[in-house]
A = this chain, B = another copy of it.
């Protein structure tokens, strides 16, 4: 069976960098934005639109998740589209996991692939460090005050949590859903990645 590493990550914590470095060090395939491109291709929707749906909260008329049951008294075309995109994402992630060893960033891959026992990483950091990383790496941060940037980080992570909880019925960031939780606040990412790679040697 292929070895699969899934990465849940707080926005601004360097989760994508950990994933990319890990895939390079291990020679595993790396899937992140590639998933969005593939969904867009298959559904004929724009990448921008797909990205908005798979990165942010699910589109729904109102909160409807009760345990594992979905109650949808009022369906809408937008809701249908959100569900179709999630279903396509689900298929693509399963196909990718069957193709080769791989690292998959975000997108509930830990849950979607739970029967293949992936190694589930969660990457996080303190707020100060997330703000600094966004300033260093992201274009989003340009023109934002620290207060605005902090709120933006909180909003994105809140959306990720809602998205994850909606589709998995689990709590995003709850340590029991992961095999290893890495705080990147004071971490040397290169060394940390080498250590994690050692688990797959």
A residues 150-201 near B (Cβ < 8 Å) are 173, 175-176, 178-183, 185-187, 191-192, 194-196, 198-199
List the number of copies, as a whole number: 2
Inter-chain CA distance A185–B176, complex, in Å, is 9
| Chain B residue contacts of A180, Cβ below 8 A | 180-183
Tally of contact residues, A, Cβ under 8 A: 22
Q: Is A148 an interface residue (CB 8 A)?
A: no
Q: Chain A contact residues: over half helix, strand or loop, or mixed?
A: mixed
- Cβ of A31 < 8 Å from any Cβ of B? no
Other-chain residue from B126, B178, B192, B196 in contact with A183 (beta carbon distance below 8 A) = B178
Set B179, B185, B192, B196: member contacting A186, Cβ < 8 A: B179
A87 CB-CB contact with B under 8 Å: no
